């Protein structure tokens, strides 16, 4: 599907991988809605891009917030054609610690954010896209979900994170099949270790060691490289129901 003059919504679009996807859509001539809980940063980013960018406050864990955000995006630019679900977070805790079993509350919170949030946004966005007129390929929209290589190579302490991202991987094919009759594609990207604000909190030596684990290129991934794959997922009409690892051939060790 062509991006030019069409509208995309990016959850978690105020920073990190989401912000890179926002920039890609805008530079390709699209209209883009930054959906995030980081209100100040999101509004500033939208203003720095120009009139084809807007911000909506959206908490992906809250169904009402998602519904209002999708509706606002449609009203602002007159439709919705792409949804990139980049909102998410991580957590490290073993299944059993010296204090007892894994905290259930934090496990549920991560599932709610990374998995349920992705599902809610995809479902509401797809409903909005179903009202579009199909293009020359019969397409009405594209959904790009974001998982993680932790879905396949979860490390020690990543049981909650891996479960949440594994769920995103697992719903990719059935979601694509569900939406096929509507002309809506669904693709999932599973990034490896990327140079994002989340990793910037680590000591420099830890970040360097993560980059050196990557077979080639031997460095952290760059957000614009993630955005390049998002662009291809949108533009290639035969790419559907697939999970694509973006990790420089990295397979994470147990720890």
- Is residue 161 flagged as an active site residue? yes
Pick the closest to residue 218 from 193, 196, 198, 201 (CA basis). 193
Strand bridging mode 141-146 / 100-101 = unpaired
- The one catalytic residue in 26, 124, 161, 238 is 161
Segments in the chain forming alpha helices (H): 16-27, 39-49, 63-77, 104-110, 117-129, 150-153, 159-170, 172-179, 197-200, 204-212, 223-235
DSSP designation for 78: T
Say if CB 74 and CB 131 are below 8 A apart: no
Q: For 165, left (φ over 0), alpha (ψ -120 to 50), or beta?
A: alpha
Q: Is the peptide bond before 217 cis (omega within 30 degrees of 0)?
A: yes
Q: Where in the sequence numbering do the catalytic residues fall?
A: 161
């Amino acid at each position: 599907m062509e991006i030019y003059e069409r509208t995309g919504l990016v959850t978690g679009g105020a920073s990190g991988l989401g912000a890179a996807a926002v920039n890609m859509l805008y530079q390709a001539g699209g209209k883009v809605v930054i959906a995030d809980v980081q209100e100040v940063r999101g509004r500033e980013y939208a203003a720095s891009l120009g009139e084809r960018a807007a911000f909506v406050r959206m908490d992906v864990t809250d169904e009402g917030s998602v519904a209002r955000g999708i509706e606002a995006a449609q009203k602002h630019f007159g439709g919705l054609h792409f949804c990139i679900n980049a909102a998410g977070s991580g957590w490290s805790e073993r299944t059993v610690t010296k204090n007892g079993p894994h905290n259930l509350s934090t496990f549920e919170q991560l599932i709610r954010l990374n998995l349920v949030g992705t599902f809610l946004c995809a479902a509401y966005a797809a409903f909005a896209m179903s009202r579009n007129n199909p293009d020359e390929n019969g397409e009405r929209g594209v959904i790009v979900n974001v998982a993680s290589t932790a879905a396949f190579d979860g490390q020690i302490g990543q049981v909650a994170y891996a479960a949440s991202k594994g769920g995103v991987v697992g719903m990719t094919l059935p979601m694509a099949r569900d939406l096929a009759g509507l002309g809506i594609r669904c693709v999932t990207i599973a990034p490896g270790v990327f140079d994002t604000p989340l990793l910037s909190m680590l000591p420099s030596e830890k970040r360097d060691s993560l980059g050196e684990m990557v077979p080639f290129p031997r460095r952290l991934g760059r957000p614009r490289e993630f955005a390049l794959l998002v662009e291809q997922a949108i533009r290639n009409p035969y790419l559907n129901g697939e999970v694509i690892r973006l990790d420089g051939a990295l397979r994470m060790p147990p720890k």
